[in-house]
Structure 1
Amino acid sequence: MNQANELPIDQDVAQPSPELVRQALQSVVSSAAFQASPRLQQFLTYVVEETLAGRGAQIRGKAIAVEVYGRSIDGTGGRNLVRVEARRLRRLLQEFYEDQWNGEGVRIFVDSGGYKPRFSLDSTSGMRNSDALGKHPRLTQLLPFGLVCVVLIAGIGFWFAQNNEAVSPATRSTEQAERAALGEQSLTRLQAANLADQARGMFFPVFDVKRQQIALGMFQHATELDPALSDGYAGSAQVLATLAMLSPDKARREDLFSQAAEMSGKALDLSPTDAWANGANGWVLATQYKPVEALKYARLSVELAPKDGHILDLVGITAIMANAPDLAAEVSDPERLRAGSGRFGARNIWGVSQLMLGNYEKVVEAFKGAPAAGAPVSAPSLLFQAVAHDQLGHSEEAQRLVMEMRKTWPEFPSEFLAGRIFHNDDATRQAILDTLSRY
């Protein structure tokens, strides 16, 4: 990920480095209020990372609606939602800085009238930070500690906004215990684990290249903070494999696959019994068209973490790539209990599994309710619905969905990705190509 140093700060004010900005971001999103609002975590992370990458001037409401909330860019509904959420974001930021900030380091503003963040650094505190960091680089990792402890002590769990499910008290206790154990072992490791956890919540929509690149940058930063923690490597592996699958350039694809295999290998070496390390390796193998090996690691990861929402999603898309729709349906079953934070893609995975199994009415039901449930919405969502309607004989609706997909995502390579995703499933691949050709 290209991380340019363009920062929206007046020239006469001390300019914080990207590292200090990311520390400030970590402090904010680790606070109790933001932990209870995963979407606002993603909103703030998205606009900050876009700005650090030099794309702050291009941040628009419709981009946030698509990138963060998975909404179609047609109409005003998505942008109205972003405006409402931006007001919530500004309010939570103000409350955080008034109630919990110690006045040190970088302060993040999202001013009214736009979404591009502004970063403020007191020159005095900046010099103090600079002097201290020059002597003790590890001190850069201490800033979020107080807020993380507040989160741990207060017992704030992660909300399942996308599935309207609450985390059980037992799950919250386990998550807190794990975070507390990390904090006792290493503050740097705790920060790296938190960052990786936030990034994995950005995995969906899978086909959004820009979103994947942002997540990759966060995973890479996690490995820089703690090279001995497997989470950053597992996350990097899953994103690199995804980018490889989406790349039409063969040389580029092979390079990304090589990097993905290296990252998944490191994750497994560091933590061979970790569910995420095994699940990421399964996904890497699936995107390389090695279905038997992929399913072995996928099934093992489910055994290791049978309720982890991200693991279940990772296994679900692995099963789709490996032409194992029964496994995909099992792990994405709407009735299955899942835990964790982030943006789950279970509803969409369930819909694709039913498409592969020929249950077209269930496909329509799954994808029709996705936006209302907060599930990711993307070009494939519309395409799979169109195929199901076509198979059911609903020609007008199939045509409408294909036209909407072409209008909203004109650059989406439908035929190419149909061949990549359903490489091992001739029947589903042909049904998609026939629908695209017919309409």
Structure 2
Amino acid sequence: MKQTQAVEGQRQITNADVRAALESILANEMFSQSERLSGFLKYIVDEALAGRGDAIRGKTIAQDVYERVPQDSGDPENIVRVHARQLRQNLGMYYETEGKRDPVHIHLDSGGYCPRFEYVDVPTRTPTPSRKRSALTMLSVFVIGGGLGALIANTTLKQPVEVQNPDAQAASQHEQLTRQALLEKSAAALQAANFAEQARGLIFPIFERSRQELLTGVFQHIISTDPEYFGGYAGAAQTLATKAILTPKGSEREEITALAGAMAQKALTLGPTEPWVQSALAWAEVAKGDYEAAYRLSSRAKDMTSQDGHVLDFHGAISLFSGRFEEAIEAADRTNLKGRSNQRFANRNIYGAANYHLGNNEKTLEGFEAAAAFGDPLSAPSLAYQAAALQRLGRVTEANSKLAELNRAWPNAPLGIMFAGIYQNHEHVEEILAPLRELGWTSKVANDEGNATARD
């Protein structure tokens, strides 16, 4: 067996060792959900194992992985540098969590693109059952089979979330004290709060109606579990308001909007000083088309807490859809956000979309590429923004490829209805749809493009 590298003159790492390490990494969701990031890692590992590691350059990665040539507009190596940073971060996160017991580690050191392989002496231990769960699957079981869902909520959701950042200890202690107080009230109160926190983290991407319908059922179950808990009503208000936004104008939309408003008001009665409640009230106003009220309430929620990523996501979304693009970018900045490092938010998508409307097309692509690399929410509009940005940059081949990807993943996505339902100003809708039409996009949904008109 060919030896690839010696570590400390003792343990030799073979090609097979490296291949096994690579397969483990690529199976992790941080990489499996990002085709480009996985391709990047596989390419540099393959090149290193073939003895060409020292010849790996940014331009070769751009050409061989991304099919970018020097003649393309812009800097073809820019996306390589962006993905290299993301790759280093993802590898670090992987080895801090799921991969911490892998015997062989793959590193990408700063300053180059040749990977480094390291043998780690990991002591054996008695295997323990995996705690990894698909959150959406967990919620589906909860809604469809209440008894089993309750069991999952009791056994899985109460388990502590690993905290990587030392600065998060204060927030973690606050959460623990809150849970203790809820448990003293009742086990049902603690179960409802635990499950609501999990469910609210799944509201994004907001453009999936089936997701919102599922989560509405979850929050309704939470309400029945503890009718005095504000979170069930706040969450239901947000999912119902999102359903209303995705519904064409008419009586059905009006009914859903009214129900969302009622849920938000009930949440206000139970928790008037809760930032989540103020955020839910704001989102219900978006469904009504009152963006000024929505922005006022969302700003209040943001000012009440600087550490709730979900509140910041909704504030960023409201800022984006009301045309406050600079503020949307500010809300998307999580530099000072403490707390659990394994939570995912929509901020990178918001960053990419806001930069699109400011004409920063390269930053748009960087934002959405980062979102994909970190496993953030992905939706049809995410791909639409990217295709439009590529078209603006004159990278027509890539734009068509991205549009084809959109059509494969969401063949009947009503983009016109989606964007018209969420943006306050029609001109911002057209900024997205016009480049897509230049690429030959036409909606396959009746009256879709006809719905892309200014809101009442």
> Same fold per TM (> 0.5)?
yes
Please name the residue that 2:196 is paired with.
196
CA apart distance, 1:336: 4.0
State which of 157, 160, 163 in structure 1 corresponds to 2:161. Answer: 157
Secondary structure of the corresponding residue to residue 369 of structure 1: helix
CA apart distance, 1:356: 2.1
CA apart distance, 1:244: 0.4
Q: Distance in 1 between matches of 2:429 and 2:259?
A: 28
Does residue 49 of structure 2 align to residue 48 of structure 1? no
Residue type at the aligned position of 1:291: Y
Please name the residue that 1:296 is paired with.
296
Residue type at the aligned position of 1:257: T
Residue type at the aligned position of 2:388: V
Relative to structure 1, the CA distance from residue 167 to residue 193 in structure 2 (aligned partners, 3 Å threshold; closer, same or farther) is farther
RMSD between aligned residues: 2.8
Q: Would you say the 8 A contact 1:36–1:159 is kept in 2?
A: no
Please name the residue that 2:260 is paired with.
260
Structure 2 residues not aligned, in runs of 5+: 1-127, 440-456
Q: Distance in 1 between matches of 2:148 and 2:270?
A: 35
Residue type at the aligned position of 2:204: F
CA apart distance, 1:251: 1.2
Q: Distance in 1 between matches of 2:166 and 2:404?
A: 37
Q: Distance in 1 between matches of 2:405 and 2:426?
A: 26
Secondary structure of the corresponding residue to residue 205 of structure 2: coil
Please name the residue that 1:370 is paired with.
371
Q: Distance in 2 between matches of 1:329 and 1:199?
A: 25
Please name the residue that 2:411 is paired with.
410
Residue type at the aligned position of 2:288: Q
Task: Map Cα deviations across residues 335-372 of structure 1 (whole Å, 9 max, x no partner).
Answer: 34253575411111111111122221110101122222
Secondary structure of the corresponding residue to residue 375 of structure 1: coil
CA apart distance, 1:159: 5.8
Secondary structure of the corresponding residue to residue 299 of structure 1: helix
Q: Distance in 2 between matches of 1:331 and 1:220?
A: 29
Moved over 6 A (4+): 33-36, 141-149
CA apart distance, 1:311: 1.0
Q: Would you say the 8 A contact 1:204–1:343 is kept in 2?
A: no
Relative to structure 1, the CA distance from residue 266 to residue 50 in structure 2 (aligned partners, 3 Å threshold; closer, same or farther) is closer
Q: Distance in 2 between matches of 1:159 and 1:204?
A: 23
Moved more, 341-350 or 295-304: 341-350
Q: How is 1:380-399 mapped onto 2 (pairs within 5 angstroms)?
A: 380-399=381-400
Relative to structure 1, the CA distance from residue 231 to residue 337 in structure 2 (aligned partners, 3 Å threshold; closer, same or farther) is same
Q: Distance in 2 between matches of 1:399 and 1:146?
A: 46
Please name the residue that 2:347 is paired with.
346
CA apart distance, 1:186: 2.5
Question: TM-score if structure 2 supplies the norm length?
Answer: 0.63
Q: Distance in 2 between matches of 1:145 and 1:380?
A: 36
- Identical aligned residues as a percent: 34
Question: TM-score if structure 1 supplies the norm length?
Answer: 0.65
Please name the residue that 1:90 is paired with.
none
Please name the residue that 1:314 is paired with.
314
Relative to structure 1, the CA distance from residue 148 to residue 252 in structure 2 (aligned partners, 3 Å threshold; closer, same or farther) is closer
CA apart distance, 1:436: 2.1
Q: Would you say the 8 A contact 1:202–1:343 is kept in 2?
A: no
Relative to structure 1, the CA distance from residue 351 to residue 36 in structure 2 (aligned partners, 3 Å threshold; closer, same or farther) is farther
Please name the residue that 1:121 is paired with.
none
CA apart distance, 1:238: 0.3
Does residue 422 of structure 2 align to residue 421 of structure 1? yes
Please name the residue that 1:69 is paired with.
none
Q: How is 1:32-431 mapped onto 2 (pairs within 5 angstroms)?
A: 37=132, 40-49=133-142, 51-52=144-145, 151=159, 156-157=160-161, 168-248=168-248, 250-339=250-339, 342-424=343-425, 426=427, 428-431=428-431
CA apart distance, 1:157: 3.1
Relative to structure 1, the CA distance from residue 35 to residue 296 in structure 2 (aligned partners, 3 Å threshold; closer, same or farther) is farther
Does residue 434 of structure 2 align to residue 434 of structure 1? yes
Structure 1 residues not aligned, in runs of 5+: 1-32, 54-105, 109-140
Q: Would you say the 8 A contact 1:350–1:366 is kept in 2?
A: yes
CA apart distance, 1:399: 1.8
Q: Distance in 2 between matches of 1:414 and 1:107?
A: 37
Residue type at the aligned position of 2:261: A
Q: Would you say the 8 A contact 2:241–2:257 is kept in 1?
A: yes
Please name the residue that 2:450 is paired with.
none
Residue type at the aligned position of 2:371: A
Q: Would you say the 8 A contact 2:171–2:339 is kept in 1?
A: yes
Residue type at the aligned position of 1:373: F
